[in-house]
A and B are shown apart, each in its own frame.
Chain A
Amino acid sequence: MNEIALLIAATLASGTPLAVAGLGLLLNEKAGVLNLGAEGMMLVAAIAGFATALATGSDVLAFAAGAGAGALMAAVFALLVIGLNTNQYATGLALSLFGGGFSAFVGVSFVGKKLEDRVPFEVPGLADIPFIGPAFFKQHWMVYVAIALVLAMSWFLYRSRAGLVLRAVGESPESAHALGYPVRLIRFGAVLAGGALCGVAGAFLSVVYAPLWVEGLVAGRGWIALALTTFATWRPARVLLGAYLFGGVTMLQFALQGAGVEVSSQLLSMLPYLATIVVLALISRNPLWIRINMPASLGKPFHPGA
C-alpha cells in the first residue's frame, strides 16, 4: 500500500515539469505561435536555474532565473518569427539545437557540482494522514504551484477578457487586427510568457528533480511537453492530467519491473508520441472538435499589411 502511495508521489513530481512547460506552450499556441524550441529553452533555463541555486541557495531565485532565461530565449524566437516572419517550425528547431549547444557550453564548469538537498514541503495537517499524506502532500511546493497554474491558466483563457483577445489572435489574427488589437504585440507577450514557463520547468528539473547539471539534462522532456499540448487538445486541465499520465507511465514501468513484470521500456518511451498521433488522427476526423480547441491559425505567420 505504501508503495502505491510512493508511486503516486513520484508520478506527481515527475509530471510537474511536463505540466508547467506544457502550459507555457499551450499559451503560445493559443496565440497562434508554435514554438518547437521548448527543449532548448528548458536546457538553457536548467543551467541558469542550477547556477543560481548554487550561488544563492534559493529556489525562488532559481526559478526566477530559469524563467528569465526561458523568456530571453523565447524573445529571440519571437523577434525572428513575429518580427521577421521567419518560418515557425524551422526557427523553433534551430532554437532547440542552439539551446542544447549553448547550455552545454555555459554549463561545463557546473558539471559535478552539488546542490543542498531540497526538503519537501509538508502540507500542514494533511501530510500526516496515512497513505494520502505520503502520496499527495509531501512534495516540493512547485508541485502545488503547477496545479494552481492550471487553474489560473483556465481562468485566464476562458474567463478573462485578455484571454479572449489572446484566443482571438490565435484563431483569426486578421479579425483581431481589424478590431484594432495589436496582434503582433499580443503574440510577442504570449511567446515570452510561454518561454518563462518552460524556463521554470527547466529549472525545476535541474534544481529540484534531478538535482544536478549535466549536458542534455532535459533529455527530451521539451518534446514530450510539445506533444502534450496536442494530446490535451489545447485544454489546460487536460495538460495537467496528460503530464501526470506521461510522467506516471515511466514510474509505473519501473514499479512493474520491480514487481517482476516484463514491460518494454522502448515501447513506453514511445507512448507519449504515439498517443499524440492517435489524438491528432481522432481530432482530424472530427472537424467540429478541432475547430473548438485547436487554434485555427496555429503555426501561420501574420502579415498586418497583407
Chain B
Amino acid sequence: MTVMSKRNLLKWAALSSVAAAALVGCGKKEEPAAPAASPEPASAPAAAAAPEPLKAAWVYVGPVGDAGWTFAHDQGRKEVEAEFGDKVKTTFVEKVPEGADAERVIRDLATQGNKIIFATSFGYMEPMLKVASEFPDVKFEHATGYKTAPNMRIYDAKFFEDAYLAGIIAGTMSKTGTIGFVGSFPIPEVLRNINAYTLGAQSVNPKIKTKVVWVSTWFDPPKEGEAAQSLINGGADVLLQNTDSSAVLQTAEKNGKYAFGWDSDMSAFAPKAHLGSAVALWGGYYKKAIKEVMDGTWKTERTVWGVKEGQNDLIKIADVVPEDTRKKIDEIKVKMKAGDFEVFTGPVVDASGKERLAAGAKADQDWKDKIDFYVKGVEGKIPSGK
C-alpha cells in the first residue's frame, strides 16, 4: 500500500514538475489553475479564487526506502502535506549524489517555481550555496551544514542526546563492560555521538569502555554488518551506529547481543536485540519553515533542535531494560524538555587525559561543532583522514 502511494506520488511529482517546466519554457509567469480534480467540488468557485499553492521541494541523498535517514526526512515532508493540504505542493528528488549532480537538481527545482527547497545531506552545502546566490527569491534550507546566506539557512538535530540516552541503556545492559560503535566518517557530528554514547554509559557504569570501528561509508549494509561482527568478536555486547541501515542491529540479533535503531524506528528488524531507536522527527521543523514562508517571516538563522523541541527522541525502549533505567531516562528527558540538561557538561576529559571542558561548564554550540577527540573510555585513535 505504501509502495503504491509512493509511486503515485513520484508520478505526480514528475508530472507536476514537467508541467511547471513547460510553463517556464513558454515564458509564462502564472501557475496553472487549481487542479481539475479539486477535492471539494461544491466550492469550485472558491477554489478558483484560492491562492496558488506554495511549492516546496526536498532533495534526498538516499532512496526514500532506506528505512533510515532519507525515510525520516520524507516522513517530515508527509507531515507538511497533512498539515497544509492544498496550500502546499511538495516534490522530492531522491538518490541525488553529493556534488555536481546536486547543484543541477537544486537549480532545476528552483527554476520550476519551488519557493522553498530543503537539501537533506551535508554534502549539498556548497552546491546549494551556489544556487542560492542565483535565486534570491527562493528560500533554501540545508540540513546539518554550517554555512548560511541571506536566503539560505541551516537546521540540525541533537542526535547526541539520543546517543546519550542510548548510552545509559547500554551501560546498564552491557555484561562485558565493553560497548561498540560503528562510525561512518570521523566528523564532529559522529564524534559527538560516540562521546555522548560513552558518557551516557559511564553515567551508570564508570568503567565502561567503547570500541569504535570506522566503515568510511554512510550506507553499505554488508560492510556495516561486518564492522558490527568485528566489534562483537572483540567483546562489545551493546552496539550503536552512525550509519543508515539496520545491518548493525541485525548482526547483533544474530549474535545474541544488543543494539539500537538509528534515524528511524527499527524495532521490527530485530525483536530480541533492539533496545530502542534513536529517531529523527523533522516534521515539526518543516511545518515551521513552510509557515514562515507563507507568513513572510522567514529569515536566515541556524536551528538546532533537540528532544526539547521534538526534533529527535529515543523511542520504543525494550521491555528487557530495567524499570530503574527507564525511569532515569524519563527523568532526563523531562529535564531536556525543560532545557535544563546538557549532555556535554564539564568536566569532560579526552582519551589522553586532557580536560576539554572545565567542571560545571556547559558546552556551547561552537564547542560541539569543533569536537575532534574521543572522551576518556573510548579506545583507539580517530582516523586522521588526511
State A219–B95 Cα separation when bound (angstroms): 15
State A107–B3 Cα separation when bound (angstroms): 10
Give the interface segment out of A153-161, A225-233, A237-245, A264-272: A264-272
Would you give 7 A-B contacts (Cβ < 8 Å), ordered by A? A7-B233, A14-B226, A111-B65, A219-B221, A250-B226, A251-B230, A257-B212
Also in contact, A214 and B226, with CB within 8 A (given A3-B233, A112-B268, A258-B211): no
A7, A209, A217, A266: the one contacting B216 at CB < 8 Å is A266
Give the interface segment out of B150-158, B311-319, B377-385: B377-385
Q: Within 8 Å CB of A114, what residues of B?
A: 250, 268-270
Q: Within 8 Å CB of B246, what residues of A?
A: 112, 212
Also in contact, A111 and B230, with CB within 8 A (given A266-B216, A269-B216): no
Q: Within 8 Å CB of A250, what residues of B?
A: 223, 226
Q: Within 8 Å CB of A255, what residues of B?
A: 230, 233-234
Q: Does B32 contact A (CB under 8 A)?
A: no
B215, B227, B269: the one contacting A112 at CB < 8 Å is B269
State A111–B231 Cα separation when bound (angstroms): 25
* B254, closest chain A residue (CB): A117
Q: Within 8 Å CB of A265, what residues of B?
A: 214-216, 383
A112, A219, A260: the one contacting B67 at CB < 8 Å is A112
Also in contact, A251 and B216, with CB within 8 A (given A112-B268, A212-B246): no
Q: Within 8 Å CB of A259, what residues of B?
A: 234
Q: Within 8 Å CB of A7, what residues of B?
A: 230, 233
A14, A107, A109, A258: the one contacting B231 at CB < 8 Å is A258
* A262, closest chain B residue (CB): B381
A212, A216, A254: the one contacting B226 at CB < 8 Å is A254
Number of interface residues of A (CB under 8 A): 38
Q: Within 8 Å CB of B67, what residues of A?
A: 111-112, 214
Q: Does B343 contact A (CB under 8 A)?
A: no
State A185–B221 Cα separation when bound (angstroms): 38
Also in contact, A3 and B234, with CB within 8 A (given A214-B65, A269-B216): yes
Shortest beta-carbon distance, A261 to chain B, in Å? Answer: 8
Shortest beta-carbon distance, B309 to chain A, in Å? Answer: 27
Inter-chain contact A210/B383, CB cutoff 8 Å: no
Inter-chain contact A210/B222, CB cutoff 8 Å: yes
Q: Within 8 Å CB of A205, what residues of B?
A: 222
Q: Does B63 contact A (CB under 8 A)?
A: yes
Inter-chain contact B250/A108, CB cutoff 8 Å: no
State A197–B94 Cα separation when bound (angstroms): 32
| Pairs A-B, 6 closest by C-beta atoms | A254-B230, A111-B65, A6-B233, A258-B234, A265-B216, A109-B3
State A181–B250 Cα separation when bound (angstroms): 51
* A120, closest chain B residue (CB): B254
Q: Does B292 contact A (CB under 8 A)?
A: no
Q: Within 8 Å CB of B253, what residues of A?
A: 117
Q: Does B120 contact A (CB under 8 A)?
A: no
* B-contacting residues, A65-113, CB 8 Å: 104, 107-109, 111-112
* B236, closest chain A residue (CB): A258
Q: Does A215 contact B (CB under 8 A)?
A: yes
Q: Does B229 contact A (CB under 8 A)?
A: yes
State A7–B66 Cα separation when bound (angstroms): 29
